[in-house]
Structure 1
Amino acid sequence: MSAGDTDHDYSVFARDLGGITQEEVMGRGRIQVALPDVDVQRFEARVRKTGVLERLQDWRAEDSLGEGFGGRPALINDRAILTGMLLANRGEPIFITRLARLFQHELSDASRALLGLEPSFVSFVEHVAEQNRWYSNTHRAFHRMNDLMDPFPQERWRAKTHTEIQQILNAHDSALELTRKARLDEFTKLFLLMTFNEQPRDVRRASRKIDLSFDQTYVGTPTTKGYSKKGLSRKVTEEAATADLRTLPPGPVDAYAGWHVRTGERTDNRRGELDTASPQTKGTTSTNYAWGWEANIAVRVDSEKPGSRRFPALAVAATLSLPNVNVAEEAVSLMRAAKATGLQPGIGDADKRYWANSLVERLHEPAFAEGFTPSTDYRVDRLGVQGGANGALFIEGGAYCPGTPTALQNASIAKSQGTIDSETYRARIGARKAFKLHVKEKADGKGRTMLRCPALGPSPTVTCPLRELLQTRKIADKERPAVDAADLPDFPDKICRQHSASFDEAEMRRTQQAFDYGTQEWDTFHTHARNSIESLNAQIKAGGTEDIQSANRRRVRGMGAAQIIVTILLTNFNLRKIAAFLSDKFKADMRAAGGRPAKPNLIRRRDREFRNPYTDTYPAGVERPDKARPAPSDETGGPPLRT
């Protein structure tokens, strides 16, 4: 054997390592500590609770068209990969190398057997080959799962020319995208639903409704080089005239990402439409735009007792999408996914980018069909009177008497212009409620509801000269606002001439809200809801444990892989949130009990578990052995006297 034959001559490893041990070399400086079996068992059970494993098998069966792929079984299964990802995310990035190290070094033999993994052979001589083998197996296992859900499959090993990007776009299968996007969203839904169900029953059902606050937050790509969809054809033409393509600068890797607008106007394009959001000049790329995706997240909020902390603010639904594309549709997906909790649909709160700017047929009507009612702020151009029907005025989500004083009609406009202060505004909003039409009959199957004049009915809220002669019975005397004769319409319509009039709810759907806009009730809930989603975004974004904004903690490319990892991050975030909530609740109970726990058992441990010879007492539940009682004493220390 030659001295240079390193394939068989292991003497090359017998070298001086200085003060570094072989274990440190094998761990590349990391301390390899085995995880407790109980932790592995707990997270493995949570993976099984999601129901994702069964869905992955179903999707494989769908893709195989009933034919088996053949070959030997996978060395690392889906259950092991998902459990490993939950365990690996302990303040560390979720890298394939991190997963492989966990499988190889940080699991006991019992935990490996639980996850269906083969034993790990630890040998300094063969440790490099062993590490490569675990990495390769882990890499293949992750991508087998990812391939089932990746909406935009493509080669991602190298940078592309713009010509290659155009070819990828031309070869895209839109039907496959829809199928795999639905799978990806179901994957996320099942994991977040599992965390919701991990809460105690009384916390889950603190409210019978599921109220949401949703928004988007940026998720970066591992490769930040992007391209302009508007200028793609021009780039392709320029490359066709280039003699040597090797002279071109490195291009993008991910064809299916987009420009996130950090500041400025954002758009909401339908699927398949050209996204016009792109850097205009080279200098603005790093300052105002970022190449990546958007995480759409819905957090549970409380419309009944805003800010009362009856339950933790969990992420109950999430998806990933291209920037500036299908913003409204992704919001509907969040509401639909949140209904899986089994609670009744409640209120959906969002900023102006959603309810205020979306088309009714894209957001308001689908949300209404799912059972959710909006809560939002209005655009300035939609304050005040926005049309009407049957003589009534449509003002900020409600139908009002045509005789409503002008100052009350334009209260929100005056507040936005700064001509009145907050106190005056609230007073006018409160006074305006008296002029709101009353519901006589709820909406029928055709979406039409019967409303009547606020001066009619058993409990009128205003007095009106047109209605005084129609009163057939005496109403209890109390002070009510009066409609000024000067504010009456010159030609009264149905709402002023009839006992009631029919209104189509669809006509008011754009401005409809759960609470009267501008009231203290609306402001309290809207502030609570916006703070909740902004707080969640701040916790999971840059600088936090999850850090979903930065791609430095997840190197796998593609939107499908990004959503899988973001799902795992949100799952662990929810579990920590629940634990912290229960810890705070326990502390509050301790304070209420005077500084100690609400006594499950206040007997000292030594009295609960051991016999006390001094007091001759035995642990709770243990009977005292029968024995003869000592003879009565004369208290002199001697035997009793005979009598």
Structure 2
Amino acid sequence: MMRRPQAPDDPAARIRWLRPKPPLSGAAKIPDSKVGQLLTLLDRSGIPRELEELLKDRPGPKGVRPRVVLAGLLLSAYYTGRATVADAWRILHYSLEPRARAWLNIPDRPPAGPSARIASSKRLYRGLDTITTVLDPVRHDRRSRLPQRHADFHAAIWDSSEGRTAAARLQTLANRLVLATVRMAHQRGHLRGWNGDVGVDATSVPVVAHPDNRRRGTASVEITAGWHFKGGTGDKTFGYSATLAIAAHHRDHDDETPKAYPQLCLGFELDTPTVRTGPNAVTILTQIAELGLPAGILAADRAYTGCSPLSFQTPVRRLGYRLALDYKVKERGLQGSWRGAPLVDGSLMCPLTPAPLIHATTGADDDTVRLRSDELREKIEARASYHFKLKEGPDARGAIRMQCPASGPSPSVNCARRDRLRPRASTPTAMPARVIDLSNPLGRALPAAARPTVHIPETEHFAPPPTEAMPQVCCAGSITVPADAEAADWRLAKYRQDVPYLHTPWLNAYRPIRSHNEGANGRFKSGTLDIGNSKHRPAPGQVTQTLLLAVMLTVANLTVLEAWLTERAGPDHLTEADYDATGPLPPLTTQVIASPATANGRHPPPDAR
């Protein structure tokens, strides 16, 4: 049995035994252009300035500035794939050129001797600890397990109003760093080929800490973590859930080749698994909308279909997105009604739709839906003629106007009830010749003989009931379909989607967007930069994990952009001036790792903007 090595008794030997240790064979030098790029990105996110404002009234020495700590973590994640303070310390003191050292006010020479190395390393650790302290709604010791009752008390503070306010500030601050890469790509025109489609999904973010120990009555070091269950397999991981929004696209029937764009992570939210699933996605989409980016189709799995309409479906529609959702077995088929029109698999249909078409997917399991038989495929395609048609797009509250399939200039069915209740204008005997635009679907309406005919009850032919007894959708020219559950049935707000379920447009939207989601998750969790490896971000606590995950996703977006540009236009030809970290703003007087003046007597340059 091997024993853990013990620290020596000699003080000098103990210092040499402690970490951090310098690189064994010398560290590779990092070019100033890369340091300047990351610093400019960091400063334009506004995070360093906001942290400085939060820390300006703290008593005691200022220590290492947040800008230096975050810059070191960005460099560490970019060059090692790990967001650790130890790697950040090695890079800051052993890998930077003189110009980059001046930008960050790092001493010209590495620390001399083990005591100086340990002192400079501890200052960097304390710098990160200072950031997490000011952002944490309830600070406690995370170096050891707490009794379960104490941990429950701290976790309850996270769920209080004050805790949620602090958590929202943390998430907004961390997401600014990721959005800085998106803003840069948008300003440089790299997202011109993106049509606004977004895929939202929650992926597991495991942690180093172990779960609660019920036998001993102690809680996990990560008091707000939980079990993340992977849908379909039942596998579970202890840690957090990260909601990622990925830029995606649907397949257009007329154009099979979409325009090129980098598939970036548009934002993230780190939270306890299975908690606030819908609100976390809405928070990300709201921040995306503030950048002025387009809103297209949003595809999400069944975890988001099960959310309350007030927390997901309604706010997403009000942001301008069209929903493409999936359903569980018990949710397929007839789901409700609105103004007399049945809601079938998320689409409003004619009240006289044949029952075999309405119940074509009732009780169908996942295998039946994925491997559709010819009979099921025919029934699903036959539904298209009975779907209500969009008349007016969404207003400020997300409400839309829809009309009967037998109405409008291009009806898809023949209906005697509609002709009786709303007679069409008389048609002249001699129609003038006109040119038909084949690119306009309204001008390509099928002739009446080629359209399916709605079969009304026989009694209605001989004794038409009064208008009050008719469904409202049959009496009105069009109906308003609200987005919120307060003005409509909750089933309509929950299950309605803007792409007909299992039809070709839905398959061309849902499957590619979900595939892009899974592909991005796999890319971010593989290779050198692996957000799924808990050892790449070992610092405990939800606050620290959120900041470190933001750093890693920012670097992941940068690598996606660099690979995308290299594949299409060769290496990026940006000059070093494009990544210059100097700027016109006056420098802050906060003390950093070294003295205000460097060894050659020159003062460090101001922060970049």
Whether these two folds match at TM > 0.5 is yes
C-alpha separation between the residues in 2 aligned to 1:342 and 1:362?
23
What residue in structure 2 maps to residue 612 of structure 1?
none
Alignment of 1:311-460 (within 5 A): 311-355=261-305, 357-413=306-362, 416=365, 418=368, 421-439=372-390, 451-460=402-411
Residues 335, 372 of structure 1: 8 Å contact kept = no
Q: Retained in 1: the 8 A contact 2:137–2:157?
A: no
Pick from 39, 47, 54 the counterpart of residue 44 of structure 1.
39
How big is each residue's C-alpha offset from its partner over 1:579-607, in whole Å with a ceiling of 9 and x where there is no partner? 1112222379xxxxxxxx9xxxxxxxxxx
- 1:23-102 aligned at under 5 Å gives the runs 27=22, 29-60=24-55, 64=57, 69-74=58-63, 76-89=64-77, 90-102=79-91
Give the SS at the match of 1:362. Answer: coil
Aligned to 2:553: 570
Question: 2:557 & 2:364 partners in 1: Cα distance?
Answer: 39
Residue 496 of structure 1: SS of its match in structure 2?
helix
Structure 2 equivalent of residue 584 of structure 1: 567
Letter in 2 for 1:59: L
- 1:219 corresponding residue in structure 2: 205
C-alpha contact (below 8 Å) 1:219/1:294 kept by paired residues:
yes
Match 1:496 to one of 451, 456, 474? 474
Choose from 120, 129, 136 the match for 2:109. Answer: 120
Measured after TM superposition, the shift of residue 406 of structure 1 is 2.0
Amino acid at match of 1:458: P
Specify the SS of the correspondent of 1:308. coil
Structure 2 CA distance, aligned partners of 1:443 and 1:51?
Answer: 34
Query: Quick one: which amino acid aligns to residue 416 of structure 2?
Result: P
Find the residue that maps to 1:293 and give its secondary structure. strand
Which residue of the partner structure matches residue 240 of structure 2?
293
Q: In the alignment, is the contact (CA less than 8 A) between 2:197 and 2:298 conserved in 1?
A: yes
1:175-218 per-residue CA deviation (whole Å, 9 max, x = no partner) reads: 442232122212232112211133263322324x5321111111
Change (3 A) 1:28 1:461: closer
Determine if contact 1:398/1:436 at 8 Å carries over to the other structure: yes
SS at match of 1:328: helix
- For the aligned residue pairs, the C-alpha RMSD in angstroms reads 3.5
Which amino acid letter does the alignment assign opposite residue 114 of structure 1? Answer: W
Matches within 5 A, 1:195-344: 195-199=181-185, 201-207=188-194, 209-226=195-212, 252-262=220-230, 288-303=235-250, 305=252, 308=258, 310-344=260-294
Displacement of 1:366 after TM fit?
2.1
- Farther-moved stretch of structure 1 (378-387 vs 559-568): 378-387
Could you tell me how far apart the structure 2 residues matched to 1:488 and 1:496 are? 17
Q: CA deviation at 1:501?
A: 4.8
Q: C-alpha deviations, 1:490-546, integer Å up to 9, x for none?
A: 8643333454455545433222223221111110111111111111111222x4322
The 1:428/1:186 distance shift into structure 2, 3 A limit, reads same
Q: 1:404 to 1:477 in 2, by over 3 A?
A: closer
- Aligned-pair CA distance for 1:438: 3.7
Of the three residues 521, 531, 534, the one matched with 2:505 is 521
1:446 and 1:77 mapped to 2: Cα distance? 44
Q: 1:132 to 1:484 in 2, by over 3 A?
A: same
The answer (yes or no) to whether the contact 2:81–2:530 under 8 Å persists in 1 is no
Letter in 1 for 2:471: D
Q: Post-superposition shift, 1:88?
A: 1.1
Does the aligned pair in 1 maintain the 2:299–2:514 contact within 8 Å? yes
Contact kept, 8 Å, 2:334 with 2:344, in 1: the verdict is: yes
Note the C-alpha offset of 1:135. 0.8
8 Å Cα contact 2:93/2:106 also seen in 1: no
**How far is 1:456 from its partner?**
3.1
Matches within 5 A, 1:618-637: none
Taking a change above 3 Å as real, the CA distance of residues 34 and 203 of structure 1, as seen in their structure-2 partners, is closer
Of residues 558-567 and 137-146 in structure 1, the stretch that sits farther from structure 2 once superposed is 137-146
Match of 2:169 among 172, 183, 188: 183
Residue 425 (structure 1) shift? 3.4
- Cα separation, partners in 2 of 1:531 and 1:73, compared to 1, 3 Å: same
- SS of the aligned residue for 1:213 comes to strand
Match of residue 535 from structure 1: 519
Match of 2:583 in 1: none
Once the 2 structures are TM-superposed, how far is the Cα of residue 60 of structure 1 from its aligned partner? 3.1
Unaligned runs of 5+ in 1: 1-5, 14-24, 229-234, 236-247, 267-287, 589-596, 598-643
Q: Which residue of 2 aligns with 1:106?
A: 95
In structure 2, distance between residues paired with 1:258 and 1:386: 33
Measure how far apart 1:173 and its partner are: 8.2
CA distance in structure 2 between the aligned counterparts of 1:514 and 1:257, rounded to whole angstroms? 35
Q: Give the direction of change, closer, same or farther, for the CA distance of 1:46–1:434 in structure 2 (3 Å limit).
A: same
The CA distance in 2 between the partners of 1:451 and 1:263, in whole Å, is 35
Mapped to 1, the partners of 2:11 and 2:477 lie a distance apart of 98
Change (3 A) 1:473 1:587: farther
In structure 2, C-alpha distance between the alignment counterparts of 1:567 and 1:342, rounded to whole Å: 22
Match of 2:426 among 466, 470, 473: 473
1:596-634 residue CA offsets vs partner (Å, 9 max, x unmatched): x9xxxxxxxxxxxxxxxxxxxxxxxxxxxxxxxxxxxxx
Per-residue deviation, 1:567: 0.7
The answer on whether the counterparts of 2:329 and 2:364 sit within 8 Å (CA) in structure 1 is no
Contact 1:150 1:561 in 2 (8 A): no
Please give the alpha-carbon distance, in whole angstroms, between the structure 2 residues aligned to 1:501 and 1:539: 45
Q: Which residue of 2 aligns with 1:165?
A: 151
CA contact (8 A) 1:401 1:435 kept: yes
Say whether the 8 Å CA contact 2:413–2:453 is kept in structure 1: yes
Once structures 1 and 2 are overlaid, which stretch shifts more, 441-450 or 325-334? 441-450
Q: Does the residue aligned with 1:393 lie in a helix, a strand or coil?
A: strand
Shift in Å at residue 38 of structure 1? 2.5
1:365, CA displacement in angstroms?
1.7
Q: Which amino acid aligns with 2:247?
A: R
Does the residue aligned with 1:466 lie in a helix, a strand or coil? helix
Q: For residue 279 of structure 1, what is the aligned residue in structure 2?
A: none
* TM-score (normalizing by structure 2): 0.76
If the length of structure 1 is used for normalisation, what is the TM-score?
0.73
Distance 2:353 2:419 in 1: 17
* Percent of paired sites with the same residue: 23
- What amino acid sits opposite 1:120 in the alignment? R
Highest relative contact order (Cα 8 Å, sep 6+), 1 or 2?
2
Q: Which residue of 1 aligns with 2:538?
A: 555
- Equivalent positions of 1:586-605 (< 5 A) are 586=569
Contact 2:199 2:517 in 1 (8 A): yes
Over 3 Å counting, the alpha-carbon distance change for 1:56 and 1:307 in structure 2 is: farther
CA distance in 2, matches of 1:554, 1:425: 49
Q: Deviations over 1:319-375 (max 9, x none)?
A: 1001121111111112112223311333221100102x1111221122223332321
